[in-house]
Structure 1
Amino acid sequence: MSTPVLPRRADGATLACLFVLSLLILPARLAVAGLPLSLTPAEILALSLGVVWVCAQMVSTTGVAKGGNPVRTALFVYGMLLLAVYGYTTYLYLPSDELNLADHTLVLYLGYASLLLVMCDGMGTRERLDFVLKAVVIGGTFAAIVALLQFRLDFDLTEYMRIPGLRHSSVEEVPTVISRSDLRRVAGTLGHPIEFGALSAMLLPLAAHLGFQARSRGEAAARWWICAAVIAAGLMFSVSRTAVLGLAGAGLILLVGWSNRRRLVTLGAFLVFLGVMKVLTPGLIGTFYNLFAGAGEDSSVIYRTHDYPFAMREFAKSPIFGRGLGTWYPFKHQVFDNQYLLSLVETGLVGVLGFVGVIVCGIVVALRVRRMSTDPNVRNLGLTIAACLVIPLLGAATFDLLSFPGITSVLFLLVGAAGALMRFERRDQRDRTVISSFHEPADLSRSLIAVTGNGHGRARSESS
C-alpha cells in the first residue's frame, strides 16, 4: 500500500510568494483604503512578514533559520545607519509634511528588511527558494503582458483592475504610458516605465536560469523560455536606457561565468529576438540606437546631469546624516534622477554607504556560493543572482530607484535569496563533514570486528 502524500505546510516561501504576486500583479497605484499612511497590499504583507519572522525567532519549532549570516549582518548595519539618520534628522526641526514622509519611508524600509529576513531565514530547502523565484518570474511575465497590451493595443488593463477596499494612491498623476519618439513607453503594472524596464532586466536572467535548470533536470523548459521572451519584449516596450544599461551589465557578468556553448546559444537567441522585434515593431530598434547615439544632446540626459552642483550644495549642508529619509520629494523640491545624489542629500554618506553595502554584500555572497558549490544549478543560480544585483547598482545612477517600491522590493528579495543560498551551502558542507567523520570510525570498527572475529574463530578451531 502506498503512503499517502501529506499536504505541504505553509512556510516562509508561501508568504513570500503571496507578497510577490500582490506586488507584481496588482497595479502599483492601488493602496489600502482607510489607513493614515498610503500603503499597498504588498507593503502591508511585507510588514506582516516582519511580525512572522520576529515570532518565529522566539521559538524553535518552526524551522526558521537562526544564527549568523553575512546578509543579515549587512542588513543590520544598514538598518542601524538608517535609524541613526532618522533619529538625528527628526531631533532637529522638520516641517510637518517632511516629518510625515520620513515616518512613512521608515515604515517602507521596515517592510523591505522584513522581506529580506524572511527570504534569508524562512526558506527550508532550495526547492522552496526556487518556488519563490518562479513566482517572481511569473509575476514579472504578467506585468509584461499588461505592458504588451499597453504598447501594441493602447489598452491599459490596470484601469479596470479595481478591487474593493483599495484606492488610488498619491502617485496616480504619473501616467503608465508615456510617449517617446512617436512610441509608447509603458509601465505594465509598475509605477513608471523606467522602473518596469529595470525590473524586467532583473527578471530576465532569472527566467533564463529556470529554463536552463529545467533542461538540465529533464523537465519541461518551454514555459520558462516563453516567460523569458515575454519579459524581454516588455523590457523593449519600456523604451528605457536604464533597462538596456542594466541588462548589459548583467549580461557581461553572465557571459564571463557561462560555458562557451551557453554563450553561443544566448547570443544566437538574442540576435533572433532583435530580428523579430524589428519585424513586429518597426522603429523600436532605431529608437534605442538613437537613445545612445544622441545621448549627449538628449534632454533627459542633460536634465539628469545639470543638477549635480545643486545636489552637492544640499549635500554639503549635512554630509554625514543628510536632511532626512524621504524628505526630498517632488512638487516641493527639485527631482534628482539619480539615487546616489538623492541618498546623499536625504541620508548623507552613511545612507549611501549602507545602501551600496547591502547590494555588494548580496553580490559577494552569491559569487561565494558559486565557488563553494559543486552543483551546476546552484552555481548558475549564484551567478544569476549576482548578475541581477548589478542592475540596481547601475540603475541607481540613472533614476531614483528607491522611490519605486516594486524594484526596491525585488532588490531586497534577491539579496535575501543570496543569504538563503549561503545558508543551504553551509548546511550541506556541514552534513558532508559529519558523514565523512562517521565513515572513518565505521570502517575502523568493521576492521576491528573482522580481526576479532577471525581471532575467535582460530581460537575455537585450535581448542577443538
Structure 2
Amino acid sequence: MAIGFRPTGLPSLNGHRPTRVADLDGMFAGPRADAATVAILYVLILLTTPAALIVRGLPLSVTPAAIIGMIGLVLWLLTQMTSTLGAAKGRNIARSGLFLFFTANLVSYGYGTAHYLPSDEMNLADQNLFLLLANLGIGLLVCDGVRTMDRLNLLLKAAVVGGAVIGVIGAIQFTANFDITRYMVLPGLRLSWEDLYVFERGSVRRVAATTAHPIEFGVISAMLLPIAAHYAMRARAVGEPFLRWWACTALIGMGMMFSVSRSAVLSLIAIAAMLVTGWTWKRRLRALAMLVGFLAVMRVAVPGLLGTFVDLFANFFTDSSIQYRTHDYDIAFAEIQRHLLLGRGTGTWYFPKYQVFDNQYMQTAIDLGLIGVVIFLLMMAAGIVAGILARRLSADPHIRDLGLTLAAVMLAPMVSAATFDMLAFATVTGLMFVLIGACGALLRVARQEKAGQEKAQSPAHSSGPVTDVTR
C-alpha cells in the first residue's frame, strides 16, 4: 500500500508532447511512505513511550500509539476502496482471525449496552471499543499493506530495535534503581497513573521499563527475543553485519531477566518448543551453547538473579502470588455462568469496582462469553497457521525460517494469557496485533513467490518455441 500519489500525465503545452510518468521519476525520486512506515512509527512509539502517558484533552484515555493505530485503520479502509494504492485484498487466515475477534467484541458490546449500564462501565466499554479498533487497524494495515519482504523485514527489525531500547531502560532501572521514564513525559501528554516502573518482589527488584508491569515487559521481551536472534543468524548467513543484531538479542534477553517474570519464562519455553521442531541439530546445539553462555554471564554480572528464577518455579505451589491469582476463581465462575455465551459486554467489568482476575481467558469469558474465548484463541491460532503456511509454501530459507519464528512467537500470548490479564496492557496487546498482521503479510509474500514460480514454469511462459516431438 502506497500512501501518496504520483501524477499519471500532464496535458500538452504549446504543441509539446504530454509529460509521461517516466519523465517525472526524477522529480519523485527517493523512498515514499507506505504501510510499513506507519507500522514502524506505531511500533517505536508503542514500545518506547511510557505506558502511563496518554493524550491530553481527550474524553478517553488514549495513548499516542492508539492514535497511530486509528490512522492506520482509516488508511486501510481507504485503500480497500481503491485498486490503485497497492493494498492486498482477498482472503488471508490472519486477516480473518482479526475480523472474527472484532466481530465478537462488537456483538458483545451491543449485547452489553442494550440494557442500562452505569456511566463508569459505559465509558470503559466505549474506550475498549476504541482501543480495539486501533489495534485492529494496525493489524490489518500490516497484513494487507506490507507487500514486500524488504518492508516486512524493516518493520520487524524496528520492533527488535525498540525491544533493545526498552531493554536498556530496564537495565538502568534494575541496576541503578533509577526510573528514567519519569523524565520521558512529552508535551501534549499526561500521566494516567502514578509512574511506578520499579517494583520489589521480596528482596529482588523487578522492572517494567516503559510498560505497565514487569510481567508485560517480560512477555514482550520473550516475544521479540526469537525475532532478534533470527535476524542475527540471517545477517551472518548472508554476509551482512550481524553483531548489531546479536547485541539487540542480548539486550532484549537482559530485559527479560530483569523483569523477573515467571510468565516470560513460560512463554519462552513454549516458543523454544516449536522452534526446535524446525531447526537442524547444529542450530539446536548452537542455541543451547549461547543460552548457557548468556546465563553464565548473567550469573556473574547479577549474583542471585538466576536463583530467584529457580525459586519462582521451585515454590510454584506455595507462592503467595499464585494463591492470590487463584483465590477469586469462584467469583469469576459465578459471573461467567450469568452470561455464558456472549458475556456481560466487552470492557464492562470495571476493575476499580470489581475483582481483578489475573487470567485473560477468564476475563474474556466474563466480557465476551465462551464464544469470545474460542474466537480469541482462534485469532492467535490464525497467526500461527499463517506463519506455518508461509514456511510450507516458500522455498526461500529466510521466509521459511521467519515463518517458523513468527508462528512460534504467537505462542507467547497464548501461554501468558493464562497467567495475567494480558488485554488490559496496551503494549503487549498492540505488539500481538502487529505480529498477527506480520504473519498474514508473510503468508501473502510466500503466496506471491509461489505463484511467480508456477507462472515461470508454465509452458506459456517458456523461453523458446515448443518443439513438436512427433515430427
TM-score, reference length from structure 1: 0.93
In 1: Cα distance, 2:147 partner to 2:385 partner: 22
Are 2:16 and 1:8 aligned?
no
Match of 1:270 among 291, 294, 303: 291
Three-state SS of the structure 2 residue aligned to 1:52 is helix
What is the SS of the residue equivalent to 1:296?
Answer: coil
Question: Quick one: which of 277, 281, 289 aligns to 1:260?
Answer: 281
- Pair 437,323 (structure 1): closer, same or farther in 2 beyond 3 Å: same
Superimposed CA distance per residue, residues 404-423 of structure 1 (whole angstroms, 9 cap, x where no aligned partner): 01011111111111111111
Unmatched runs of 5 consecutive residues or more in structure 1: 452-464
Q: For the residues of structure 1 that align with 2:147 and 2:358, how far apart are their CA atoms?
A: 39
C-alpha distance in structure 1 between counterparts of 2:200 and 2:153, whole Å: 37
> Quick check: 1:149–1:156 contact (8 Å CA) kept in 2?
yes
2:59 equivalent in structure 1: 36
Deviation per CA, 1:271-315: give whole Å up to 9, x if none.
111111111111111111011001111110011122222110010
**Matching residue of 1:225:** 246
Matches within 5 A, 1:35-54: 35-54=58-77
* Structure 2: unaligned runs, 5 residues or longer: 1-24
User: How far does the alpha carbon of each residue in 1:31-81 deviate from its partner, in whole angstroms, 9 at most, with x for none?
Assistant: 110111110110000000000111111122211111111112222222222
1:141 equivalent in alignment to 2:164: yes
Match of 2:432 among 398, 411, 418: 411
* CA RMSD, Structure 1 to Structure 2 (Å): 1.6
Deviates more, 1:357-366 or 1:425-434: 425-434
Q: How does 1:364-403 map to 2 (within 5 A)?
A: 364-403=385-424
Partner of 1:75: 98
Q: Among 357, 367, 375, which residue is 1:336 paired with?
A: 357
Distance 2:278 2:362 in 1: 32
The equivalent of 1:90 in structure 2 is: 113
Deviation at 1:129, TM superposition (A): 0.2
Shift of 1:26: 1.1
- Output the CA distance in 1 between the equivalents of 2:299 and 2:462: 66
Residue of structure 2 in register with 1:216 after alignment: 237
Quick check: 1:181–1:287 contact (8 Å CA) kept in 2?
Answer: no
Contact kept, 8 Å, 1:102 with 1:325, in 2: the verdict is: yes
User: Paired residue for 1:190, among 187, 201, 211?
Assistant: 211
Q: What CA distance in whole angstroms lies between the structure 2 residues aligned with 1:73 and 1:393?
A: 18
Q: Which moved more, 1:266-275 or 1:63-72?
A: 63-72
Structure ID, larger Rg: 1
- Contact in 1 for aligned 2:393/2:450 (Cα 8 Å): no
The residue aligned with 1:120 is 143
2:306 corresponds in structure 1 to: 285
Equivalent in the alignment of 1:162:
185
Matched to 2:86, the amino acid is G
Aligned residue type for 1:60: S
Match of 2:15 in 1: none
The answer on whether the counterparts of 2:455 and 2:461 sit within 8 Å (CA) in structure 1 is: no
Residue in structure 1 matching 2:315, options 294, 301, 323: 294
2: distance between equivalents of 1:381 and 1:421?
A: 8
1:104-143 Cα distance to aligned partner (Å, 9 max, x none): 0011010111111111011120110000000000111111
Preserved CA contact (<8 Å) 2:38 2:72: yes
Structure 1 segments (4+ residues) deviating >4 Å: 438-442
Partner of 1:454: none
Tell me whether 357-366 or 429-438 shows the greater mean CA deviation: 429-438
What letter corresponds to residue 430 of structure 2 in structure 1? S
Alignment deviations for residues 306-343 of structure 1 (CA, whole Å, 9 cap, x no partner): 22221100100101111111122322111100001111
Aligned residue pair count: 445
1:131 has 2:154 as partner: yes
Distance 1:365 1:162 in 2: 38
Q: Write the distance in 1 (CA, Å) between the matches of 2:71 and 2:412.
A: 28
Change (3 A) 1:441 1:215: closer
**Contact (CA 8 Å) 2:108, 2:342: kept in 1 or not?**
yes
Q: Which structure has greater helix proportion?
A: 1
- Could you tell which deviates more after superposition, 64-73 or 137-146? 64-73
